[in-house]
Amino acid sequence: MSDTKQPVAFIGLGAMGFGMATHLIKQGYPVTGFDVWPPTLEKFTSAGGLTATTPASAVADKPCCVCMVATAQQAQAVLIDGPNAAALALPQGAVLLLCSTVPCDYVQSLAKQLSAIGRPDIHLIDCPVSGGAARAADGTLSIMAGVPSEEALGKSKPLLEELADPAKLYIVQGGIGAGSNMKMVHQVLAAVQILAASEAMGFATHLGLDLAKTNEAVLNSDAWNWMFEHRTPRMLTNYQPVASATVIIVKDTSIITAEARRSGFPTLMTSVAEQVYFSAVGKGYGADDDSGLVRLYAEGKGKVGPVQGAAGSDEERLALVIGLLKGILLCSAAESLAFADKVGLDLDQVFDLCINAAGGSQMLKKYGPSIIRAFREGKATEGWSAAESETSLKEVADGLFAAVEEAQRLKAPVFLGSQALNVIRLALQSSSAGVAAGAVVKVWNSNSMEKAFRPHFFNHGKPDANPAEKRNCHWCQIRSFATHTELPISITNKEDDAFLNPSFRFIDHSVIGKNVPVADQSFRVGCSCASDEECMYSTCECLDEMAPDSDEEADPYTRKKRFAYYSQGAKKGLLRDRVLQSQEPIYECHEGCACSKDCPNRVVERGRTVPLQIFRTKDRGWGVKCPVNIKRGQFVDRYLGEIITSEEADRRRAESTIARRKDVYLFALDKFSDPDSLDPLLAGQPLEVDGEYMSGPTRFINHSCDPNMAIFARVGDHADKHIHDLALFAIKDIPKGTELTFDYVNGLTELESDAHDPSKISEMTKCLCGTAKCRGYLW
């Protein structure tokens, strides 16, 4: 950045917003603030800020705007709906940071609204924050940013870096909405643990413990959590100062439970917390600091008649408080990670954020990694045994049970503790002895595909398993692939009760159909290169039809490299930029060649290079994503299926209930078709690949008008040009967890004009990709 900082507009100067805005002023930014509360504007002026009377005047000529209001309704008012809303007044190409905690679907709708009012040029960044007013003021917030593009990230990152702790700026994969989902998952921990602090201290009051000593004991135990550490000091000073009003966590909790209801996820802990928060607001505590919720727990002491606890010493009583908290914290950690998995977040990133932010706890730190590992290994529905040095779930249950029993004797309310005990009991009922503490997550992880995969996991490993059932089992088919151990294919559905069509069969090579002509053996030939290195040069017979490279000098023997891939450096093995851009055919060595299987020119022949996950999307059926990063130019996999004649393809289209739906799975092998060709296999009608009922995982990849992959024709033996491979390569860097897509019609421009022809629209298939470049229709 230059020494002159860009002017910034700041809308919303509450406790968090004021700290963030004044921090920017201290860093040399000219900041113009807007807030509906005049005393706040006066205070902001005293801190060195400029002020505006409307959102529109605040953002005028400002290349960056930060919106830090309390709710989605307020954001809508200041940005879109109000008489002087900000959106239309922002300059061209401005950055808009929405730092408020709002529902995922709201921020996604905001992006659409900006386009609808003619402002798609605005770079909206979905970036809720966490950390409290103090960290806002010193620029060390945790920020969860969902960005729509690399350009938007580049423009917004300098400002994000000013506001965030360098180690706590998280770029969340998934675009607009992903940042809000990350904050929502974090707030599961916050919502439960804010209340848990009051529940523990209220319980301590009923136990007759000294609260300062209780605080010290908890902070030095496995019951430590960030919220307890930062709430209890205010409990001991009459809930002052008001650092976080109860209504704020009520709002956040409602976002969580509303999204949970929409997605069918059980928020067993958060829903209990929400009901207690509603009770607090009903008692008039809404504007008070949320540490004051301890009053809900302590106010009944001595009003129920004579009570007698069983704990005989302060040491025993402190152990009860710690046992109570450990059970609650374990359940909140499991609920948060299970919800994160449900909404498709990177669990490692979620863990790193939460453990270092306000949702951090010792129980999350201890058991979070094993829960995440269980999701990766498919054990989150089954449970797993505790390691020798690890605490078992029963041990946590015993401590929690003792606390809840004592609370009942004392007539002390423990809302969260009672619910946590119920949850843990449910997990123990269906678990073997010695199950690990983290296995409590199984209660949340009800898998809609359990009915489909249960026969495989319970029966197909047995010697007497039904052979026909095994042949038709998708999991058996996948596990039979040679690549399964290193590059597994997984199938998951967290959206509904659908599972893959039982008639579909996974294959790892295309199948030649009836009446498909194949080349005579006498026409087959491979290269005779003396070494694998020779296969990169023009002397390799396999590369006869590959254009020579102009970006590499000839060697001393005047040979020129011709093969399609980079041969050295960080890009070794990746498709050359020239080939990526031209989408020209790729010619490779093959099994009929003299070179080895490690030949650098056998990239596609060696097969899929990454693990893939078939998953259920929210609105487009099945999709595919990859759990690892994919580099631009990297080969991913082939599109496989049954290779059939054009006549057979037409017959199948005619028989299909919806002919155009059949076209989704049919791909013509027409790259080399030429009616004037002397090769009769190329002069006739091109063959087609039908992947509807037999294919690999790429069959489930969705279309996009702005794809991250493209199909390339790959030729091995030149005699097989008419049945060339359809090889999928990444045309941009693809972060892990991003849905994989390619353009089914490769951007055919006539579709755009057809979409404006009323006589054709009724016959066209709508596109559902939802990208900014969407053409509206597939074909």
Query: What are the C-alpha distances in Å from 452 to residues 379, 455, 600?
Result: 16, 7, 41
Residues of the chain with pLDDT > 90, as a percent, come to 65
d(CA 657, CA 586): 36
Which residue pairs, CB below 8 angstroms and at least 24 apart, start in 488-492? Answer: 488/611, 489/611, 489/612, 489/613, 489/614, 489/697, 490/378, 490/611, 490/612, 490/613, 490/614, 491/449, 491/453, 491/613, 491/614, 491/615, 492/447, 492/449, 492/613, 492/614, 492/615, 492/616
Active-site residue, 239 included: no
Q: What is the mean pLDDT of the chain?
A: 89
Q: How confident is the model at residue 521 (pLDDT cuts 50, 70, 90)?
A: confident
- Residues 357-366 have pLDDT tens digits of 899 999 999 9
Q: How confident is the model at residue 758 (pLDDT cuts 50, 70, 90)?
A: low
106, 285, 744, 777: the active-site residue: 744
Tokens 């960290």 locate to 135
pLDDT number for residue 754: 55
285, 639, 665, 777: the active-site residue: 639
- pLDDT (mean) for 507-529: 89
- Residues 317-328 have pLDDT tens digits of 999 999 999 999
d(CA 430, CA 488): 28
Q: Does position 551 have pLDDT exceeding 60, yes or no? A: no
Q: Does position 753 have pLDDT exceeding 70, yes or no? A: no
- Residues 184-214 have pLDDT tens digits of 999 999 999 999 999 999 999 999 999 999 9
Least trusted range by pLDDT, from 75-89, 138-152, 283-297, 550-564: 550-564
Active-site residue, 285 included: no
Reduced to 3 states, what is the DSSP secondary structure of residue 725? Answer: strand
